[in-house]
Amino acid sequence: MTALQEQDNDVYALIEKEAKRQKTMLNMIASENISSRAVREATSSVLSHKYSEGYPGKRYYQGNEFIDQVEQLAIDRAKQLFGAEHANVQPISGSPANFSIFLALLEPGDTFLGMDLACGGHLTHGSPVNFSGKLYKPHHYGVDQNGFIDMEEVRKIAVAVKPKLIISGHSAYARTVDFEKFSEIAQEVGAIHLADISHISGLIAAGIHPSPFPHTDVVMTTTHKTLRGPRGAIILCKEAHAQAIDKAIFPGSQGGPHNNLIAAKAVAFQEAMTPEFKQYAAQVVKNAQMLAQTLMDHGIPVVTGGTDNHLLLVDLQGLVGPGKGAETAKLLEQAGIICNANSVPYDPAPPYKPSGLRLGTPMLTSQGFMEEDIQTVAVLIASVIKNPETVKEVRASVDQLCARIIS
Protein backbone atom coordinates (compact mmCIF):
# COMPACT_ATOMS: atom_id res chain seq x y z
CA MET A 1 0.00 0.00 0.00
CA THR A 2 2.76 2.40 -0.95
CA ALA A 3 0.41 4.86 -2.68
CA LEU A 4 -1.91 5.01 0.33
CA GLN A 5 0.99 5.54 2.70
CA GLU A 6 2.29 8.41 0.59
CA GLN A 7 -1.09 10.08 0.07
CA ASP A 8 -2.84 9.52 3.40
CA ASN A 9 -0.59 8.23 6.13
CA ASP A 10 -3.35 8.65 8.75
CA VAL A 11 -5.54 6.00 7.10
CA TYR A 12 -2.53 3.85 6.25
CA ALA A 13 -1.35 3.86 9.86
CA LEU A 14 -4.76 2.83 11.16
CA ILE A 15 -4.95 -0.05 8.68
CA GLU A 16 -1.51 -1.19 9.76
CA LYS A 17 -2.56 -1.08 13.40
CA GLU A 18 -5.63 -3.19 12.65
CA ALA A 19 -3.51 -5.68 10.71
CA LYS A 20 -1.18 -5.94 13.70
CA ARG A 21 -4.15 -6.41 16.06
CA GLN A 22 -5.41 -9.31 13.97
CA LYS A 23 -2.00 -10.97 14.16
CA THR A 24 -1.39 -10.41 17.86
CA MET A 25 -4.76 -11.31 19.36
CA LEU A 26 -6.92 -14.44 19.30
CA ASN A 27 -9.88 -13.44 17.13
CA MET A 28 -12.82 -15.66 18.08
CA ILE A 29 -15.82 -13.70 16.82
CA ALA A 30 -17.87 -16.45 15.17
CA SER A 31 -18.92 -14.21 12.27
CA GLU A 32 -15.39 -13.09 11.35
CA ASN A 33 -12.80 -14.69 9.13
CA ILE A 34 -9.78 -13.99 6.94
CA SER A 35 -10.20 -13.87 3.17
CA SER A 36 -7.44 -14.89 0.79
CA ARG A 37 -5.11 -12.45 -0.92
CA ALA A 38 -6.91 -13.22 -4.20
CA VAL A 39 -10.27 -12.25 -2.69
CA ARG A 40 -8.80 -9.03 -1.31
CA GLU A 41 -7.23 -8.16 -4.67
CA ALA A 42 -10.57 -8.58 -6.43
CA THR A 43 -12.21 -6.44 -3.73
CA SER A 44 -9.79 -3.57 -4.37
CA SER A 45 -9.92 -3.85 -8.18
CA VAL A 46 -10.97 -1.34 -10.86
CA LEU A 47 -14.37 -3.05 -11.02
CA SER A 48 -15.49 -0.66 -8.26
CA HIS A 49 -15.35 2.16 -10.85
CA LYS A 50 -18.25 0.86 -12.96
CA TYR A 51 -21.98 1.50 -12.69
CA SER A 52 -24.07 -1.46 -13.84
CA GLU A 53 -27.66 -1.21 -12.64
CA GLY A 54 -29.60 -4.22 -13.81
CA TYR A 55 -28.43 -7.75 -14.58
CA PRO A 56 -26.12 -9.39 -17.15
CA GLY A 57 -27.38 -8.54 -20.63
CA LYS A 58 -29.98 -6.14 -19.19
CA ARG A 59 -28.10 -3.06 -17.96
CA TYR A 60 -29.16 0.58 -17.81
CA TYR A 61 -25.61 1.73 -18.61
CA GLN A 62 -23.27 0.99 -21.48
CA GLY A 63 -19.76 -0.44 -21.13
CA ASN A 64 -20.69 -3.54 -19.13
CA GLU A 65 -19.34 -6.25 -21.42
CA PHE A 66 -16.81 -7.52 -18.91
CA ILE A 67 -18.90 -6.70 -15.85
CA ASP A 68 -21.58 -8.97 -17.28
CA GLN A 69 -19.05 -11.78 -17.62
CA VAL A 70 -17.84 -11.30 -14.04
CA GLU A 71 -21.35 -11.39 -12.60
CA GLN A 72 -22.38 -14.38 -14.71
CA LEU A 73 -19.27 -16.22 -13.54
CA ALA A 74 -20.21 -15.53 -9.92
CA ILE A 75 -23.78 -16.68 -10.55
CA ASP A 76 -22.68 -19.90 -12.23
CA ARG A 77 -20.19 -20.70 -9.47
CA ALA A 78 -22.72 -20.00 -6.70
CA LYS A 79 -25.25 -22.32 -8.33
CA GLN A 80 -22.63 -25.03 -8.78
CA LEU A 81 -21.27 -24.69 -5.25
CA PHE A 82 -24.64 -25.00 -3.52
CA GLY A 83 -26.66 -26.92 -6.10
CA ALA A 84 -29.15 -24.07 -6.54
CA GLU A 85 -31.51 -23.43 -9.43
CA HIS A 86 -31.05 -19.64 -9.33
CA ALA A 87 -28.58 -17.24 -7.74
CA ASN A 88 -28.55 -13.49 -7.19
CA VAL A 89 -25.05 -12.32 -6.24
CA GLN A 90 -25.78 -8.60 -5.89
CA PRO A 91 -26.90 -8.25 -2.22
CA ILE A 92 -24.49 -6.05 -0.32
CA SER A 93 -25.02 -7.70 3.07
CA GLY A 94 -27.14 -10.22 4.95
CA SER A 95 -29.76 -7.94 6.49
CA PRO A 96 -30.52 -6.11 3.21
CA ALA A 97 -30.70 -9.51 1.51
CA ASN A 98 -33.28 -10.73 4.02
CA PHE A 99 -35.18 -7.47 3.58
CA SER A 100 -35.30 -8.10 -0.17
CA ILE A 101 -36.59 -11.64 0.38
CA PHE A 102 -39.39 -10.31 2.60
CA LEU A 103 -40.14 -7.65 -0.03
CA ALA A 104 -40.33 -10.30 -2.73
CA LEU A 105 -42.39 -12.94 -0.94
CA LEU A 106 -44.49 -11.20 1.73
CA GLU A 107 -46.88 -8.28 2.04
CA PRO A 108 -46.58 -5.87 5.00
CA GLY A 109 -48.44 -7.35 7.93
CA ASP A 110 -47.99 -10.96 6.82
CA THR A 111 -47.25 -13.55 9.49
CA PHE A 112 -43.93 -15.39 9.55
CA LEU A 113 -42.12 -17.72 11.94
CA GLY A 114 -38.46 -17.37 12.89
CA MET A 115 -36.04 -18.26 15.65
CA ASP A 116 -36.17 -16.10 18.77
CA LEU A 117 -33.19 -13.73 18.96
CA ALA A 118 -32.70 -14.68 22.62
CA CYS A 119 -32.36 -18.34 21.63
CA GLY A 120 -29.92 -17.85 18.75
CA GLY A 121 -31.89 -16.18 15.96
CA HIS A 122 -31.04 -12.99 14.10
CA LEU A 123 -32.42 -9.44 14.20
CA THR A 124 -33.99 -9.96 10.76
CA HIS A 125 -35.88 -13.02 12.03
CA GLY A 126 -38.48 -10.85 13.74
CA SER A 127 -36.85 -8.60 16.32
CA PRO A 128 -39.23 -5.75 17.27
CA VAL A 129 -36.47 -3.18 16.64
CA ASN A 130 -35.84 -4.49 13.09
CA PHE A 131 -37.78 -4.02 9.85
CA SER A 132 -38.86 -7.66 10.13
CA GLY A 133 -40.61 -6.97 13.41
CA LYS A 134 -41.91 -3.52 12.48
CA LEU A 135 -43.39 -4.22 9.04
CA TYR A 136 -44.46 -7.84 9.45
CA LYS A 137 -46.10 -10.02 12.08
CA PRO A 138 -43.46 -12.31 13.60
CA HIS A 139 -43.93 -15.40 15.72
CA HIS A 140 -41.00 -17.26 17.22
CA TYR A 141 -39.80 -20.71 18.10
CA GLY A 142 -36.99 -21.18 20.61
CA VAL A 143 -35.04 -23.99 22.20
CA ASP A 144 -35.75 -26.43 25.00
CA GLN A 145 -34.20 -26.28 28.46
CA ASN A 146 -31.09 -28.04 27.12
CA GLY A 147 -30.66 -25.50 24.32
CA PHE A 148 -31.86 -27.66 21.41
CA ILE A 149 -34.52 -26.82 18.82
CA ASP A 150 -37.56 -29.05 19.37
CA MET A 151 -38.90 -29.64 15.86
CA GLU A 152 -42.25 -30.92 17.14
CA GLU A 153 -42.66 -27.66 19.06
CA VAL A 154 -41.80 -25.74 15.87
CA ARG A 155 -44.52 -27.71 14.07
CA LYS A 156 -47.10 -26.97 16.75
CA ILE A 157 -46.40 -23.24 16.56
CA ALA A 158 -46.54 -23.29 12.76
CA VAL A 159 -49.86 -25.13 12.75
CA ALA A 160 -51.27 -22.65 15.26
CA VAL A 161 -50.15 -19.38 13.62
CA LYS A 162 -50.17 -20.49 9.95
CA PRO A 163 -47.21 -18.36 8.79
CA LYS A 164 -46.67 -17.41 5.17
CA LEU A 165 -42.91 -17.84 5.67
CA ILE A 166 -40.81 -20.02 8.00
CA ILE A 167 -37.15 -19.18 8.63
CA SER A 168 -34.59 -21.80 9.55
CA GLY A 169 -31.03 -20.85 10.43
CA HIS A 170 -29.41 -18.85 13.20
CA SER A 171 -26.65 -16.55 14.39
CA ALA A 172 -25.91 -18.27 17.70
CA TYR A 173 -26.98 -21.93 17.61
CA ALA A 174 -24.34 -24.62 17.94
CA ARG A 175 -26.21 -27.64 16.62
CA THR A 176 -27.17 -29.10 13.24
CA VAL A 177 -30.20 -27.53 11.57
CA ASP A 178 -32.77 -30.03 10.26
CA PHE A 179 -33.60 -28.27 6.99
CA GLU A 180 -35.58 -31.23 5.70
CA LYS A 181 -37.88 -31.23 8.72
CA PHE A 182 -38.35 -27.46 8.48
CA SER A 183 -39.42 -27.93 4.86
CA GLU A 184 -41.87 -30.66 5.81
CA ILE A 185 -43.46 -28.31 8.35
CA ALA A 186 -43.54 -25.47 5.81
CA GLN A 187 -45.27 -27.70 3.27
CA GLU A 188 -47.77 -28.88 5.89
CA VAL A 189 -48.91 -25.33 6.67
CA GLY A 190 -48.48 -23.95 3.14
CA ALA A 191 -45.53 -21.68 3.97
CA ILE A 192 -42.43 -20.69 2.07
CA HIS A 193 -39.22 -21.97 3.65
CA LEU A 194 -36.31 -19.52 3.92
CA ALA A 195 -32.99 -20.91 5.15
CA ASP A 196 -30.62 -18.27 6.52
CA ILE A 197 -27.28 -20.09 6.37
CA SER A 198 -25.08 -17.03 6.84
CA HIS A 199 -23.02 -18.62 9.61
CA ILE A 200 -22.70 -22.15 8.25
CA SER A 201 -22.57 -21.71 4.46
CA GLY A 202 -18.87 -22.58 4.33
CA LEU A 203 -19.55 -25.78 6.27
CA ILE A 204 -22.44 -26.59 3.92
CA ALA A 205 -20.34 -25.91 0.82
CA ALA A 206 -17.70 -28.29 2.17
CA GLY A 207 -20.23 -31.01 2.98
CA ILE A 208 -19.62 -30.74 6.74
CA HIS A 209 -23.18 -29.62 7.54
CA PRO A 210 -26.31 -30.90 5.72
CA SER A 211 -27.43 -28.67 2.86
CA PRO A 212 -30.77 -26.87 2.73
CA PHE A 213 -31.05 -27.96 -0.92
CA PRO A 214 -33.19 -29.38 -2.40
CA HIS A 215 -35.56 -28.93 0.53
CA THR A 216 -35.66 -25.14 0.72
CA ASP A 217 -37.48 -22.54 -1.39
CA VAL A 218 -35.06 -19.67 -0.72
CA VAL A 219 -31.61 -19.53 0.86
CA MET A 220 -29.70 -16.47 2.00
CA THR A 221 -26.09 -16.40 3.06
CA THR A 222 -23.48 -13.82 3.75
CA THR A 223 -20.16 -14.48 2.06
CA HIS A 224 -17.66 -13.35 4.70
CA LYS A 225 -18.10 -15.83 7.55
CA THR A 226 -17.22 -19.52 7.18
CA LEU A 227 -17.28 -19.03 3.39
CA ARG A 228 -14.16 -16.80 3.66
CA GLY A 229 -15.22 -14.37 0.94
CA PRO A 230 -15.66 -10.58 0.90
CA ARG A 231 -18.26 -8.82 3.00
CA GLY A 232 -21.53 -9.30 1.17
CA ALA A 233 -24.36 -11.75 0.59
CA ILE A 234 -26.13 -13.85 -2.03
CA ILE A 235 -29.64 -15.22 -2.44
CA LEU A 236 -30.24 -18.70 -3.83
CA CYS A 237 -33.70 -19.93 -4.74
CA LYS A 238 -35.89 -22.16 -6.83
CA GLU A 239 -36.78 -20.87 -10.30
CA ALA A 240 -40.34 -20.27 -9.11
CA HIS A 241 -39.10 -17.37 -6.97
CA ALA A 242 -36.28 -16.13 -9.21
CA GLN A 243 -38.09 -13.26 -10.90
CA ALA A 244 -39.56 -11.93 -7.65
CA ILE A 245 -36.20 -12.12 -5.87
CA ASP A 246 -34.33 -10.37 -8.67
CA LYS A 247 -36.89 -7.57 -8.82
CA ALA A 248 -36.75 -7.14 -5.07
CA ILE A 249 -32.97 -6.64 -5.23
CA PHE A 250 -33.08 -4.36 -8.26
CA PRO A 251 -34.92 -2.05 -8.47
CA GLY A 252 -36.69 -2.97 -5.22
CA SER A 253 -33.99 -2.31 -2.64
CA GLN A 254 -30.64 -1.68 -4.33
CA GLY A 255 -29.26 0.38 -7.20
CA GLY A 256 -25.90 -0.22 -8.79
CA PRO A 257 -24.22 -3.44 -7.63
CA HIS A 258 -20.75 -3.52 -6.09
CA ASN A 259 -18.95 -5.19 -8.98
CA ASN A 260 -15.65 -5.51 -7.16
CA LEU A 261 -17.34 -7.50 -4.41
CA ILE A 262 -19.18 -9.67 -6.93
CA ALA A 263 -15.83 -10.56 -8.47
CA ALA A 264 -14.43 -11.33 -5.02
CA LYS A 265 -17.45 -13.55 -4.32
CA ALA A 266 -16.70 -15.47 -7.53
CA VAL A 267 -13.13 -16.03 -6.33
CA ALA A 268 -14.37 -17.25 -2.94
CA PHE A 269 -16.84 -19.65 -4.57
CA GLN A 270 -14.04 -21.17 -6.62
CA GLU A 271 -11.88 -21.53 -3.51
CA ALA A 272 -14.75 -23.23 -1.68
CA MET A 273 -14.80 -25.98 -4.32
CA THR A 274 -11.21 -27.04 -3.61
CA PRO A 275 -10.08 -29.98 -1.45
CA GLU A 276 -8.10 -27.52 0.68
CA PHE A 277 -11.26 -25.65 1.62
CA LYS A 278 -13.02 -28.86 2.58
CA GLN A 279 -10.09 -29.69 4.86
CA TYR A 280 -10.30 -26.20 6.33
CA ALA A 281 -14.03 -26.46 7.05
CA ALA A 282 -13.59 -29.85 8.71
CA GLN A 283 -10.84 -28.40 10.89
CA VAL A 284 -13.08 -25.48 11.92
CA VAL A 285 -15.55 -27.95 13.41
CA LYS A 286 -12.84 -30.10 15.01
CA ASN A 287 -11.40 -26.98 16.61
CA ALA A 288 -14.80 -25.82 17.86
CA GLN A 289 -15.50 -29.23 19.38
CA MET A 290 -12.10 -29.26 21.08
CA LEU A 291 -12.77 -25.75 22.40
CA ALA A 292 -16.13 -26.80 23.83
CA GLN A 293 -14.84 -30.00 25.41
CA THR A 294 -11.79 -28.36 26.99
CA LEU A 295 -13.85 -25.50 28.41
CA MET A 296 -16.25 -27.99 29.97
CA ASP A 297 -13.34 -30.04 31.31
CA HIS A 298 -12.23 -26.87 33.12
CA GLY A 299 -15.65 -26.16 34.62
CA ILE A 300 -16.98 -23.69 32.03
CA PRO A 301 -20.62 -24.51 31.08
CA VAL A 302 -21.30 -24.73 27.34
CA VAL A 303 -24.89 -24.48 26.07
CA THR A 304 -26.13 -27.83 24.64
CA GLY A 305 -22.98 -29.48 26.03
CA GLY A 306 -20.97 -29.01 22.83
CA THR A 307 -21.22 -27.98 19.18
CA ASP A 308 -21.78 -29.40 15.70
CA ASN A 309 -20.48 -26.36 13.86
CA HIS A 310 -18.07 -23.42 14.18
CA LEU A 311 -19.39 -21.75 17.31
CA LEU A 312 -20.46 -22.32 20.88
CA LEU A 313 -22.14 -20.43 23.70
CA VAL A 314 -20.70 -20.17 27.20
CA ASP A 315 -23.21 -19.68 30.03
CA LEU A 316 -21.64 -17.49 32.71
CA GLN A 317 -24.55 -17.38 35.15
CA GLY A 318 -23.24 -20.03 37.52
CA LEU A 319 -19.67 -18.71 37.47
CA VAL A 320 -19.82 -14.91 37.52
CA GLY A 321 -23.58 -14.24 37.67
CA PRO A 322 -26.32 -13.11 35.27
CA GLY A 323 -25.67 -10.14 33.00
CA LYS A 324 -21.87 -10.43 33.15
CA GLY A 325 -21.20 -11.32 29.50
CA ALA A 326 -20.02 -7.88 28.41
CA GLU A 327 -17.75 -7.47 31.43
CA THR A 328 -16.20 -10.87 30.81
CA ALA A 329 -15.72 -10.15 27.11
CA LYS A 330 -13.85 -6.96 28.02
CA LEU A 331 -11.62 -8.89 30.42
CA LEU A 332 -10.84 -11.41 27.71
CA GLU A 333 -9.99 -8.57 25.32
CA GLN A 334 -7.49 -7.28 27.87
CA ALA A 335 -6.01 -10.76 27.81
CA GLY A 336 -5.77 -10.68 24.00
CA ILE A 337 -8.82 -12.88 23.32
CA ILE A 338 -11.60 -11.34 21.22
CA CYS A 339 -15.18 -12.66 21.47
CA ASN A 340 -18.61 -11.16 21.98
CA ALA A 341 -21.14 -11.10 24.79
CA ASN A 342 -24.27 -13.01 23.86
CA SER A 343 -27.61 -13.95 25.36
CA VAL A 344 -28.06 -17.56 26.42
CA PRO A 345 -31.39 -19.40 26.27
CA TYR A 346 -33.84 -18.14 28.90
CA ASP A 347 -31.37 -15.42 29.87
CA PRO A 348 -32.76 -13.39 32.80
CA ALA A 349 -30.63 -10.40 31.76
CA PRO A 350 -31.49 -7.99 28.89
CA PRO A 351 -29.85 -8.34 25.43
CA TYR A 352 -27.62 -5.30 25.99
CA LYS A 353 -26.27 -6.92 29.15
CA PRO A 354 -26.37 -10.67 28.42
CA SER A 355 -25.19 -13.59 30.51
CA GLY A 356 -23.09 -15.45 27.98
CA LEU A 357 -20.26 -15.41 25.49
CA ARG A 358 -20.22 -16.52 21.86
CA LEU A 359 -16.95 -18.08 20.70
CA GLY A 360 -16.02 -19.24 17.21
CA THR A 361 -13.08 -20.93 15.48
CA PRO A 362 -13.21 -19.85 11.78
CA MET A 363 -10.56 -17.13 11.98
CA LEU A 364 -8.13 -19.00 14.21
CA THR A 365 -8.41 -22.00 11.91
CA SER A 366 -7.63 -19.80 8.90
CA GLN A 367 -4.55 -18.62 10.78
CA GLY A 368 -3.30 -22.18 11.29
CA PHE A 369 -4.58 -23.20 14.73
CA MET A 370 -5.07 -26.94 15.21
CA GLU A 371 -6.79 -28.89 17.99
CA GLU A 372 -3.83 -28.88 20.36
CA ASP A 373 -3.52 -25.10 19.94
CA ILE A 374 -7.23 -24.64 20.57
CA GLN A 375 -6.89 -26.72 23.70
CA THR A 376 -4.34 -24.21 24.96
CA VAL A 377 -6.66 -21.32 24.03
CA ALA A 378 -9.53 -22.91 25.96
CA VAL A 379 -7.40 -23.21 29.08
CA LEU A 380 -6.50 -19.52 28.81
CA ILE A 381 -10.15 -18.53 28.42
CA ALA A 382 -11.12 -20.62 31.42
CA SER A 383 -8.36 -19.00 33.46
CA VAL A 384 -9.66 -15.46 32.79
CA ILE A 385 -13.29 -16.40 33.46
CA LYS A 386 -12.55 -18.16 36.75
CA ASN A 387 -9.78 -15.86 37.94
CA PRO A 388 -9.70 -12.34 36.38
CA GLU A 389 -6.44 -11.64 38.21
CA THR A 390 -4.66 -13.85 35.64
CA VAL A 391 -5.36 -11.41 32.77
CA LYS A 392 -1.75 -10.18 32.46
CA GLU A 393 -0.36 -13.69 32.71
CA VAL A 394 -2.80 -14.92 30.04
CA ARG A 395 -1.92 -11.97 27.80
CA ALA A 396 1.72 -13.01 27.87
CA SER A 397 0.72 -16.56 26.88
CA VAL A 398 -1.45 -15.21 24.06
CA ASP A 399 1.48 -13.18 22.75
CA GLN A 400 3.63 -16.31 22.65
CA LEU A 401 0.89 -18.32 20.94
CA CYS A 402 0.31 -15.67 18.27
CA ALA A 403 4.03 -15.26 17.65
CA ARG A 404 4.42 -19.01 17.16
CA ILE A 405 1.40 -19.63 14.90
CA ILE A 406 0.24 -16.42 13.23
CA SER A 407 3.43 -14.40 12.72
Q: How far apart are CA 305 and CA 291, in angstroms?
A: 11
> How many whole angstroms separate alpha carbon 362 and alpha carbon 380?
18
Please provide residue 168's backbone torsions phi and psi, each rounded to the nearest 5 degrees. -105, 160
Signed CA dihedral, 250, 44, 83, 121: sign only: negative
End-to-end CA distance of the chain, in Å? 20
Q: DSSP assignment, residue 318?
A: T
Is the Cβ–Cβ distance between 259 and 232 less than 8 Å? no
Could you list the active site residues?
51, 53, 196, 222, 225, 231
E strand or H helix that includes residue 166: strand 165-169
**Cβ 16 vs Cβ 2: under 8 Å:** no
Residue partners of 9: CB distance under 8 A and separation at least 6: none
Burial letters for 159-176: b for 16+ Cβ neighbours within 10 Å, e otherwise?
Answer: eebebbbbbbbbbbbbbe
Instruction: Return the sign of the alpha-carbon dihedral for residues 389, 394, 396, 399.
Output: negative
CB neighbour burial string for 38-64, b if at least 16 within 10 angstroms, e if fewer: ebeebbeeebeebbbebbbeebeeeeb
